[in-house]
Amino acid sequence: MDLVQQHTWGWFIAIYLFFGGLGGATMALGILGELRFKMGKWFGIGTAMLGLAILSFGLIWLVLDLIDPFRFLLAFWVKGIGHSWIARGMVIINGAYIFGVLYALAAFYGWETFKKWMGYLAMFCGFGVTTYTGLLLNANVGIPFWHTPALPVLFTVSAFSTGCALLMWVLAALKSHEADHYFHFIEGFDIFLISLELLVIFAYFDFARLGNAAVMKSAQLLLHNPMFTIGFLVMGLIMPLILEAYASTKEHSKGLAVFASLLVLVGGFLLRYLIVWAGVFQYPHGLAG
Amino acid sequence: MARYGMVMDVSSCLGCRACMAACSQWNQTPFWAEDFEGKWRTRVTPLEEGKFPEVRKVFFPTICMHCENPPCHSVCPTGATYINKDGIVLIDYDLCLGCGYCIEACPYDARYEYEKEDLEKDEFYFGEDARHHQVHIDKCTFCVDRLEEGLEPSCAATCVGHARIFGDLDDPNSEAAKLVNSGKAKPLGEYMGAKPKVYYIK
Ligand code: SF4
Ligand code: SF4
């Protein structure tokens, strides 16, 4: 076997994967706050628009990564929808924009039933955006470290964790009983997500330990990279978990949780970048030239 | 309708790389690229096989395997990558978004980017005869334009050692089909499930 580290996708794709997931999760969790936690229409509208703005920022990098950015309109030609995750992602992203905007309009004008429907559809598309980014990498059969069901789970969990982190900033700035209540819900949810992420990471590396040569190579690249071990695992997962768990037991400790959420955001980005970077092809011997 | 494939007889390859030259001239692929190994539709890689003292040097020819279940095709969002009636995997340059997804998905390293600089060089070297006019992802086409004229792919037609045996795998009388059906020629990396139609005799 010839092992070759992939070099087609790099920073730009990682930035997109991060902001795409963050935007989708922010919108889904924000609308949830309005629909289920009485956060009020402006919170719903604001977070939906914030989520879409973040997603748009991510998409800019995706377009810049094209061999010719001016060809981006072809992305709307989704003939490969039956099998391609970029085509399916395009539909999901468009759904997120359409339902997100309709939800915001309905919330603004107070069309309650329509708002609920649009809100749930927008949440579903937001969730779809967080998930498809992992499925997108997953489809590459020649890169065994990506071609595992753990990856979409990891990306989804991590995206929602970053979404929680961002919402904690927003909620910490709002002074209301509902905001406090939702803040604590999000904080608890994030503690759950980070714990789950640690479990998935553990399972991922345990699988890699017994995997084929390319999987092991990817795992080694990551484990020997301090950006992964110190930057992501320690500073981006374990530290925020401890800080958030501690903060959740104390009153008036939003500052600590907000600081922890900054670490979560940086960790979420590092995870995307490093997983993309550590993609290793396993070519049959003689092919890599 | 045919089912075109190729058999690579590795032991007959002299490593002269005439196939690479012929292909890059016919298809105007970036032989000018700085990274000499990077942008070829076909490559011949020198390999050392075995362990000392039983070592031998072989030359290993590779191209797009024109897979029957091609991952490059499954990931392509716009339908730019398609399979023609003769089982040849092709790219419609007008539809290619240039996302590079197919490069990542191909488990045989068969694809590369035909970039703006390459278009300029193509025009510089070939003038009015330049065949590439827009950026796209590029790979072997089994010289589909030559097949239409009743010619073999240019690599097979040029091969000095008769290491590249091209033919219709559905025609039991073709030399390629005979080698495949006898079990002598085998595909690479079968476990990846792409069902390649390029076979190897090692
Ligand atoms: S070898 Fe690669 S480019 Fe060629 S058909 Fe198979 S997957 Fe596609
Ligand atoms: S680069 Fe072109 S051929 Fe390849 S997957 Fe994207 S659109 Fe399809």
For residues A192 and A164, the answer to whether their CB atoms sit within 8 Å is no
Which member of A87, A279, A282 has the closest CB to residue B77? Answer: A87
The mean pLDDT value for A202-208 works out to 91
Residue-averaged pLDDT of chain A: 94
Joined tokens for residue B108? 């045989």
The predicted pLDDT at position B48 comes to 86
Task: Compute the nearest-CA separation of B47 from chain A (Å).
Answer: 7
Name the β-bridge partners of A151.
none
Which member of B45, B97, B103 has the closest CB to residue A8? Answer: B103
Residue B90 parent element (H or E): strand B89-91
**Using CB atoms and an 8 Å cut-off, which of residues 84-143 of chain B contact chain A?**
95-101, 103-109, 113, 115-116, 134-137
Record the pTM: 0.93
CA distance A193 to A261: 12
Report which bound ligand comes closest to the CA of B76: 2
Identify the three-state secondary structure at position B44.
strand
Report which bound ligand comes closest to the CA of B189: 1
Query: Which of B75, B82, B94, B113 has the highest number of chain A CBs within 10 A, making it the mutation to test binding with A?
Result: B75
Distance from Cα B137 to the centre of ligand 2, integer Å: 7
B57 at A interface, C-beta within 8 A? no
**Is residue A15 scored above 90 in pLDDT?**
yes
The predicted pLDDT at position A254 comes to 81
Contact A83/B189, CB-based, under 8 Å?
A: no
Conformational region of residue B28, where left means phi above 0, alpha means psi within -120 to 50, and beta covers everything else: left
Report which bound ligand comes closest to the CA of B105: 1
Q: Cβ–Cβ contacts within 10 Å for residue A283, how many?
A: 23
The terminus-to-terminus CA distance of chain A in angstroms comes to 13
Q: What residues have CB less than 8 Å from B88, skipping those under 6 apart?
A: B4, B66, B141, B142, B144
Closest by CA to B198, choosing from B106, B136, B131, is B106
The number of the ligand 2 atom at minimal distance from the alpha carbon of A67 is: 1
The mean pLDDT value for A51-78 works out to 94
The predicted pLDDT at position B35 comes to 63
- Mean pLDDT (10-residue bins), chain B, 202 residues: 95 94 96 77 89 88 96 96 97 95 94 94 95 96 96 96 96 96 94 94 90
Give the pLDDT confidence of B107-134 residue by residue, as tens digits: 999 999 999 999 999 999 999 999 999 9
The predicted pLDDT at position A113 comes to 95
The predicted pLDDT at position A286 comes to 74
ipTM of predicted complex? 0.90
Q: Which residue of A has its CA nearest to B188?
A: A284
Joined tokens for residue B92? 């419609």
The predicted pLDDT at position B63 comes to 96
